[in-house]
Structure 1
Amino acid sequence: MTPQARPSPADPSAPTAAQAPRPEATPGFDARRFKAMERAGFNRIAARYADGAHLRAGLAAALLDAADLAPGQRVLDLASGPGLLAGAAARRVAPGGRVLATDIAEAMLAEGARRCAGETAPPAFAAADAEHLCLPDACMERVLAGLALFIFPHPRHALTEIHRVLVPGGLVALSVWGPRPSVPLIHRAQDCIARLLPPPRVPRPSVFRFGEPAALEDALAAAGFHDIDIRPCTFTCCFDDADAYWQAFLDLAGGVAEALGRLPETTRQALRAAITDDLEPFRDDSGRYRLPARTLIATARRPR
């Protein structure tokens, strides 16, 4: 990994050493191992992740609208995956704008570059760790992070880096999953896994850890952001059958998908079969499944 860049001492809005966010730590948690698993998992599902973009199209559009993009802006998209947000952002900042899509999963970036190849002004793609960005201070007018902040082992490091690379007055726009009960799209599969498999030796960071607006606002404020605005965004995904739902979950799951992929085939089939009962409350009259998901979209500015 590259050395972590530090906020400029001349930046009065940057957190001081005493205020700087500390890493979130769980006994036994290994951030490097966690990132390696996430990288392997997202490399495994790159094409399928991109193919499932239509399920989250409404959320993506809402996030881009919140970012207030305009022609000529320089935009950084963190944990960009296959460039779904980055490609749309590049169209919004044309002409004259530039979008840099970053991720730790190189297969995701390659998939994004392939899919954006026909664009007039496609994003640039670069492997980078959101917690340790090799970018100069104050180089971006906008930073995007769609369903990403909760993935980072130390999200406060990522927020500090976002603050550093934004120009004074620059805006970050990000989305996170809402409170766990409001996201059956995710927690139904998690419940099935927890019921059939033994608990992990070291728990993964929860994807719902910023689901409450107060927790997200506190994290943004601690990183030095002002003018924080957090709004809900709810969407619903429809699936023809339980198998389609399970596959869609795996196509979003990154490191979890990688861990499940290493299980014996019989165990994986048992998980796939068991999910049918868990989904029954969401089955409509046509026999299809409709699962809602509540997210939060936050915007915040680096002070001028």
Structure 2
Amino acid sequence: MADWSWNLDAASSEPLRSYEDVLVKRIFHPWACHLLGVLRPEPGSRAIDVATGPGTVARMLAASVGPRGSVLGTDISPGMLDLARAKPPVDGAAIEYAECGADSLRAPDAAYDVVVCQHGLQFFPDRRAALSELHRVAADGARLAISLWAGLESNPMFRALHDAVSAELGEQQAQDFRQPWSLPADEVVQLLHEVGFVDVRRTPAALPVHVPEGAEGLSCVYRLSAIAEELEQLHPTAHEALMQNLRTRLAPLLHDGTIHAVTSAEVVTATATSTRPA
């Protein structure tokens, strides 16, 4: 099974610009607001945002914890981190960014009061190792919040992207594409218990999103996905067939060229303890 590739090397790349202009602005920013609303970080907190991407959640954390707090954003993609670092400073805590995998965080033990991962866990090769690392860097009593997409059956906009791939490119490509919507929250809850978190809770949530860029804008997801390389090799006729299929499937969600859809996810929260599992 192919993996999604977020390892975009240059902040000037077209896929990265599309990610920022469409996906972050229309989808990930609203979900970041929801995630921090659930977590409610206190002023002065030390926070870490794992899989920070272009710094969306890290910047919100910086504003929330204020100048007495601190924020570290980590990501494995140098291109994403370049984009994050290029943004103007936030009125709040200083933000440090570090290039590292989630299973080998460049952070000391028990250093953070707030630990966040938005829509990133499903991409980690070793989720248990990554969650164990989150526990390692969390101080006693630290609060954790993780967001995970619900299944495609609860996300009609993403389902349209998937079903167009299935119809035009085949089931293997569709299986590779559906990775972000394939991690059950129950599995995450179990892993969190195993690595030492307590008070683990999962809460379903649904948020409306609006994508004025329409099907063409939303299709940037394809260029960031596990099937990106294959799409680059498609004959123009086949590519247009894929896009036409996508437009047809999105038609019920379109009004005046804007996609109006509900996106569904699970937010899993937990508390860290000083007791480390054997």
TM-score by length of 1: 0.78
Equivalent position SS for 2:261: strand
8 Å contact 2:163–2:174 — kept in the other structure?
A: no
8 Å contact 1:77–1:99 — kept in the other structure?
A: yes
Q: How many residues align?
A: 268
- Which whole-Å CA distance do the structure 1 matches of 2:9 and 2:253 have between them? 28
Equivalent position SS for 2:148: strand
Aligned-residue identity in percent: 24
Equivalent position SS for 1:40: coil
Partner residue, 1:206: 179
- Which whole-Å CA distance do the structure 2 matches of 1:297 and 1:257 have between them? 27
Q: CA deviation at 1:251?
A: 4.3
8 Å contact 2:66–2:91 — kept in the other structure?
A: no
Q: CA deviation at 1:269?
A: 2.6
Q: CA deviation at 1:287?
A: 5.9
Deviations 1:59-115 (A, max 9, x none): 211111222311221111111010011011011111211111111111111111111
Equivalent position SS for 1:157: helix
Partner residue, 1:255: 225
Deviations 1:252-297 (A, max 9, x none): 863336335522351333211221221233245x564322111111
Deviates more, 1:243-252 or 1:191-200: 243-252
1:75 aligns with 2:75: no
8 Å contact 1:59–1:233 — kept in the other structure?
A: no
8 Å contact 2:71–2:95 — kept in the other structure?
A: yes
Deviates more, 1:47-56 or 1:68-77: 47-56
Partner residue, 1:124: 96
Q: CA deviation at 1:189?
A: 0.4
Partner residue, 1:281: 252
Give me the CA root mean square deviation: 2.7
8 Å contact 1:246–1:275 — kept in the other structure?
A: no
Q: CA deviation at 1:42?
A: 9.1
Q: CA deviation at 1:194?
A: 1.5
Letter of the 1:274 counterpart? N
Selected match of 1:112 from 69, 81, 84: 84
1:48 aligns with 2:18: yes
Partner residue, 1:298: 268
Task: Label 1:179 to 1:201 Cα distance change in 2 as closer, same or farther (>3 A).
Answer: closer
Selected match of 2:38 from 66, 81, 89: 66
8 Å contact 2:223–2:231 — kept in the other structure?
A: no
Partner residue, 2:7: 39
Partner residue, 1:224: 196
Equivalent position SS for 2:218: helix
Deviations 1:20-67 (A, max 9, x none): xxxxxxxxx58xxx47x3313896432322223332333211111222
Letter of the 1:208 counterpart? W
8 Å contact 2:32–2:57 — kept in the other structure?
A: yes
Deviations 1:104-162 (A, max 9, x none): 11111111111134656441111110122232221111111111111112222211110
Gaps of 5+ in 2: none
8 Å contact 1:99–1:123 — kept in the other structure?
A: yes
Partner residue, 1:3: none
Task: Label 1:134 to 1:280 Cα distance change in 2 as closer, same or farther (>3 A).
Answer: same
Q: CA deviation at 1:208?
A: 2.2
8 Å contact 1:42–1:105 — kept in the other structure?
A: no
8 Å contact 1:147–1:174 — kept in the other structure?
A: yes
Partner residue, 2:215: 245
Stretches of 4+ moved more than 6 A in 1? Answer: none
Gaps of 5+ in 1: 1-28
Equivalent position SS for 1:134: coil
Letter of the 1:160 counterpart? S
